[in-house]
A and B are shown apart, each in its own frame.
Chain A
């Protein structure tokens, strides 16, 4: 039997390796179906060579990337991802509650020492696990918990020394989460870091504008340009090198660009920095919501970004429903209102179905 090394077009990342393993599995099943139907029958020698090649390739992929080789393994991997998320959340909660449980028993210097060392120790643990495991499940738990410990550190240190809340604290938390996310290629932490960066941007702009601390997060306009920048930055080289990072940036940017428009178009005077009459500003943001939602769908189709298109289409439907409620609820009979919403849903399904079949023909 010929020994085949799986070194041609070798995948560089785990998703690429998993896609290759999936293709091999699909090929095997299709070949068996063709064989049963009598359409194609490989000779014994050819079959043996292909089997040996694929077995070598799968062994290599499993050794380097720990890919799932069967449906059962795939289901277990999904379970491990869910367990990772739950583990990260619950361990973070454990760190926070443990500190609250003991900090009254400690002196100020010890409190500060514990607060500073917790994120550093957890970071070291993440590094240690990252060197041992290929799938980075435990690393992810440690990294998220380290971020939670850093959030606890700054917020509690501010409380201990009676400092005024700072709008720069979320920026530091975002920086920490993003550095760690890029270090270990963790999409969950990247998404958390982007969310905190958006919060930080709103807080800093609110602080510069002289808003009360309780209103820092209630003016989401700074997110609009940042969302557009995030979509543009998604294709940068550091993101392309890391699996899934471009998509997280794109979807995060899209959310930052579109979701604030729901608030800004409906309650313009409450949520906007711009001092224009509420009706004028609302009309501008109404137009922006429909235009940007449509533009995002067009861009997603052009670039082949499936989830981007789905998210933008989901936003457009949500935005349309919110606008219908805003415009029509007060004067339209309820049955007619819901009939209209149902009609819009049917029209959206038909329109998307037509676009889908047109793209299939292309």
Chain B
């Protein structure tokens, strides 16, 4: 370990990144099961932080909780069960 630690650590960095890229490639490969058209109402630009130049989109959604619905809880539900099936 003492002598080869540098190489083990470097190999770990490279292997972990290859795994991430492989997962990303697998995630984007093949034909989509379904296609969903989204508008600016659902896809929003998050508030830009001054120290962060990243470009990001956030997906806004609401889902009705099963059972009787009250006015106060309606906009708070954040589980995208419908999105899993799309």
A and B pair up: yes
Taking a contact as CB atoms under 8 Å apart, the answer to whether B1 and A183 are in contact is: yes
Q: A residues within 8 A CB of B73?
A: none
Taking a contact as CB atoms under 8 Å apart, the answer to whether A100 and B53 are in contact is: yes
Taking a contact as CB atoms under 8 Å apart, the answer to whether A120 and B13 are in contact is: yes
- Stretch among A171-179, A249-257, A296-304 lining the B interface: A171-179
Q: A residues within 8 A CB of B6?
A: 123, 127, 183
Taking a contact as CB atoms under 8 Å apart, the answer to whether B27 and A182 are in contact is: no
Given A153-B13, A238-B1: A158 touches B53 (CB 8 Å cut-off): no
Taking a contact as CB atoms under 8 Å apart, the answer to whether B54 and A103 are in contact is: yes
> Closest approach, in angstroms, between the C-beta of B9 and any C-beta of chain A?
5
Classify the interface of chain B: helix, strand, loop or mixed. Answer: helix
* A104 contacts B by Cβ under 8 Å: yes
Query: From residue 33 to 86 of chain B, which have CB atoms closer than 8 A to chain A?
Result: 51-55
Taking a contact as CB atoms under 8 Å apart, the answer to whether B53 and A179 are in contact is: no
Q: B residues within 8 A CB of A163?
A: 20, 23-24, 27
Taking a contact as CB atoms under 8 Å apart, the answer to whether B52 and A179 are in contact is: no
Give CA–CA (A175, B51) in the complex, Å: 31
Closest to B52 in A: A100
Residue interface mask A87-99, B partner, CB < 8 A = 1: 0000000000100
* B10 contacts A by Cβ under 8 Å: yes
Given A112-B21, A161-B20, A163-B24: A175 touches B12 (CB 8 Å cut-off): yes
Instruction: Pick from A104, A112, A183: contact of B54, CB below 8 A.
Output: A104
* B5 contacts A by Cβ under 8 Å: yes
* A105 contacts B by Cβ under 8 Å: yes
Given A97-B51, A161-B20: A180 touches B9 (CB 8 Å cut-off): yes
Instruction: Pick from B1, B17, B52: contact of A182, CB below 8 A.
Output: B1
Taking a contact as CB atoms under 8 Å apart, the answer to whether A183 and B2 are in contact is: yes
Taking a contact as CB atoms under 8 Å apart, the answer to whether A172 and B12 are in contact is: yes
Taking a contact as CB atoms under 8 Å apart, the answer to whether A183 and B5 are in contact is: yes
> Closest approach, in angstroms, between the C-beta of B25 and any C-beta of chain A?
9
* A115 contacts B by Cβ under 8 Å: yes
Closest to A116 in B: B17
Given A104-B54, A161-B27, A163-B24: A172 touches B16 (CB 8 Å cut-off): yes
Q: Sort chain A's interface into a size bin.
A: 20 to 34
Give CA–CA (A163, B23) in the complex, Å: 8
Instruction: Pick from B1, B16, B55: contact of A154, CB below 8 A.
Output: B16
> Closest approach, in angstroms, between the C-beta of B2 and any C-beta of chain A?
6
Give CA–CA (A101, B51) in the complex, Å: 5
Given A97-B51, A100-B52, A101-B53: A182 touches B5 (CB 8 Å cut-off): yes
Taking a contact as CB atoms under 8 Å apart, the answer to whether B17 and A179 are in contact is: no
Give CA–CA (A251, B2) in the complex, Å: 23
Closest to A146 in B: B9
> Closest approach, in angstroms, between the C-beta of A274 and any C-beta of chain B?
27
Give CA–CA (A112, B25) in the complex, Å: 14
Instruction: Pick from A104, A112, A161, A180: contact of B52, CB below 8 A.
Output: A104
Instruction: Pick from B9, B17, B21, B51: contact of A183, CB below 8 A.
Output: B9
> Closest approach, in angstroms, between the C-beta of B57 and any C-beta of chain A?
10
Taking a contact as CB atoms under 8 Å apart, the answer to whether A104 and B17 are in contact is: no
Q: B residues within 8 A CB of A150?
A: 13, 16
* A260 contacts B by Cβ under 8 Å: no
Give CA–CA (A115, B21) in the complex, Å: 12
Closest to B1 in A: A182
> Closest approach, in angstroms, between the C-beta of B3 and any C-beta of chain A?
9
18 A-B contacts, Cβ less than 8 Å apart?
A: A100-B52, A100-B53, A112-B17, A115-B17, A116-B17, A120-B10, A123-B13, A127-B6, A150-B13, A154-B20, A157-B17, A157-B21, A163-B20, A163-B27, A175-B12, A182-B5, A183-B5, A238-B1
Known: A103-B54, A153-B17, A182-B1. 10 other contacts (CB 8 A): A104-B52, A104-B54, A119-B13, A123-B6, A127-B6, A153-B16, A163-B24, A180-B9, A182-B2, A183-B1
Binding site for B on A (CB under 8 A): 97, 100-105, 112, 115-116, 119-120, 123, 127, 146, 150, 153-154, 157-158, 161-163, 172, 175-176, 179-180, 182-184, 238
Binding site for A on B (CB under 8 A): 1-2, 5-6, 8-10, 12-14, 16-17, 20-21, 23-24, 27, 51-55
